[in-house]
Amino acid sequence: MIHLKHIYKTYGANRHALRDLNIQIEKGEFTFLVGPSGAGKTTLFKLISAYEKPTTGDIEVAGYSLNSLKLGQTPFYRRKIGFVFQDYKLLKNKTVFQNVVLPLEIINNKTIDKSKQAMELLEQVGLHDLQDQYPDFLSGGEQQRVAIARALIHNPELLVADEPTGNLDPKMSEAIMQLFFEFSKKGTTFFVATHDYRLLTLKNSRVLELNKGELVGDRIS
Amino acid sequence: MRWSSLKVSLLVVLSFSMVMVLISFMFYKNINILLGFWEDEAKLSIYLKVDTTEEEKGAAIARLKTDSDIANIQVVTRNEAAADFKKILGEYSNGLISVDEITDLIPESIVVTLQSSLSSQTKNEKFAYIKRDLTLNPVVEEISYGTEWIKQFSKFDRALKFFGLLLFSVLSISVLFISALMARSLVEESKTEIEVLSLIGATRWFIYKNNLLPFFYIFGLSAAISTAITFGTYFYFKHRFFLAQGFGFLAENIRFLDAPEVLSLVCILFFFVICGAVLSLKSAIQRLSLFAYE
């Protein structure tokens, strides 16, 4: 699903965010990415989301070679991925329901019952009562759950999440991880950056550790 | 569509902008209509000598008829002229008209009116030409057409038309500039939305559609509001203000804009607003480097 070969990312003349990164994540794998602040986690996610290009090296994600992504392919590539951003990136002028259903509106697949799918996910993240609220009236944890529901609604092949449980209490974190595992069983690949070391004890998950832009650990929990 | 303060501001600015453009154009149009009435009143009177025969008069009329710029030739007999004279003087005329000598002094005349399509300056030049041409004719006693009045009117006419056009142009340019600027502000406000949409797989077309749709709604609403306000203003002046001020002539003759005029003006404004919005969207997408791989 994700193949990174000798990836370097340098900002300016000599600030190396990533150095010779070689990672291979297979389809359906559940991978955590850990490391201190400034380790390069966000930079790696930017490369995977086709937001930035690597300075050198090859990236292949979901069958797309990002080095040679053709004009106009970026949106279609991004539709295969679900993103949970650290700052949620919810649209403030849309309700919870409208935010969650947005990826389906973009894909515009007429065979999908958008409303039903959105309501099911809102139920699973415990926000069905808040479907008509605007994000500004939600707590940080509630906004985070909206972002998670939005990332999962179109059944992406890959879910990339930056601190998806950072603002959730332990009970809700557990519920969200349970939801992730359910999707993982259906074949979705998860790549999750976290500081929550309790999550790393989950069985059969892979943990990659970054430090100063280099891969310093790769283990199965 | 959720209304933000900027969207409400855009609606207000666009509505008042269109009102200003529509009213200034209506002003310009009505100036032209009303000045046309004044110009139509410009006439040349050829006073004939008392002893002019029918043949001599006929020859003079025939000569005038050869000129294509002349719209109408009317012969005012001595009796008709006397009746007009009596009408103008009212009760004072009775004593004068009864004196035969005075009645004999009222000459027969030929009144010439030119084509209304001619400008007042051209009319003035044409009258001067006819006067030169007929002055030496033995049947003509005097020719009068109020030279100075027409000259003054011609200046006033040009000044007023120029003022109307200037007002319309300045207002239009200001309004187009402000509207395009407002459209850009609204796009700037949507910057985060554009970023999010592109990150979750929206194509450029989807982003354009999503961001331009509110402009269509707001613009449609503004067009309806401004046309209603403009019509209300026209209605008030035509049926209340001018009548109350005793300007019956103005009340009777001012006209509202016709559908093609309103549509043309609204379309021009729409073109500029949408162009402003599209250019802003384009630069916002490029600035955010959201399609770095394209």
DSSP chain B: -PPPHHHHHHHHHHHHHHHHHHHHHHHHHHHHHHHHHHHHT-EEEEEEPTT--HHHHHHHHHHHHT-TTEEEEEEE-HHHHHHHHHHHHGGGHHHHHTSHHHHHHSPPEEEEEE-TTS-HHHHHHHHHHHHHHHHT-TTEEEEE--HHHHHHHHHHHHHHHHHHHHHHHHHHHHHHHHHHHHHHHHHHHTHHHHHHHHHTT--HHHHHHHHHHHHHHHHHHHHHHHHHHHHHHHHHIIIIIHHHTT-HHHHHH--PPPHHHHHHHHHHHHHHHHHHHHHHHHHHHHHTTTTTT-
Could you state, in chain order, the average pLDDT of each consecutive group of 10 residues for chain A (221 residues)?
A: 89 84 89 87 87 87 85 85 87 91 88 87 87 89 89 91 81 80 85 82 81 86 72
B chain contacts of residue A78, beta-carbon cutoff 8 Å? 198-201
CA distance B159 to chain A (A): 52
Q: What is the pLDDT of residues B107-123, one digit of tens each?
A: 888 888 888 777 777 87
- Residue B290, pLDDT above cutoff 60: no
Q: What is the pLDDT of residues B247-284, one digit of tens each?
A: 888 888 888 998 998 899 888 888 877 887 788 778 77
Nearest to B200 among A51, A66, A102 (CB): A102
- Residue B233, pLDDT above cutoff 90: yes
| A75 in contact with B, Cβ within 8 Å | yes
* pLDDT in the model for residue B292: 45
Q: How large is the average pLDDT for residues B181-204?
A: 81
Q: Delineate the domains of chain B, giving CATH numbers in brackets.
A: 5-37+156-287 (no CATH), 43-144 (3.30.70.3040)
* pLDDT in the model for residue B102: 62
Average pLDDT score over chain B: 80
Q: Strand (E) positions, chain A?
A: 2-11, 15-25, 30-34, 56-61, 64-65, 81-84, 158-162, 189-193, 206-211, 214-220
* pLDDT in the model for residue B253: 85
A chain contacts of residue B189, beta-carbon cutoff 8 Å? none
What per-residue string of b and e applies to B112-129 under the rule 16 or more CB within 10 Å gives b?
Answer: bbbeeebebeebbebbee
| A212 in contact with B, Cβ within 8 Å | no
Q: Delineate the domains of chain A, giving CATH numbers in brackets.
A: 2-220 (3.40.50.300)
CA distance A85 to chain B (A): 10
Give the residue on A whose Cα is nearest the Cα of B194: A91
Contact assignment for B195 to A103 by CB distance below 8 Å: no
* pLDDT in the model for residue B193: 83
| A94 in contact with B, Cβ within 8 Å | yes
Contact assignment for A74 to B206 by CB distance below 8 Å: no
| B199 in contact with A, Cβ within 8 Å | yes
Cβ within 8 Å of A, B 262-291 = 289-291
**Structure tokens that stand for A39 in this block:** 């380790």
| A71 in contact with B, Cβ within 8 Å | yes
More confident residue, A139 or B37: A139
Contact assignment for A102 to B197 by CB distance below 8 Å: yes
| B193 in contact with A, Cβ within 8 Å | yes
* pLDDT in the model for residue B113: 86
Which of A22, A5, A7, A4 has its CA nearest to residue A56? Answer: A7
* pLDDT in the model for residue B287: 67
Taking the model in full, what pTM does it have?
A: 0.64
Contact assignment for B203 to A75 by CB distance below 8 Å: yes
User: Complex ipTM above 0.90?
Assistant: no
- Kindly state the percentage of chain B with pLDDT values over 70: 85
- Residue B160, pLDDT above cutoff 70: yes
B chain contacts of residue A102, beta-carbon cutoff 8 Å? 197, 200
- Residue B65, pLDDT above cutoff 80: yes
Local confidence band at B149 (pLDDT 50, 70, 90 cut-offs): low
CA distance B194 to chain A (A): 10
Q: How large is the average pLDDT for residues B62-66?
A: 86
* pLDDT in the model for residue B227: 92
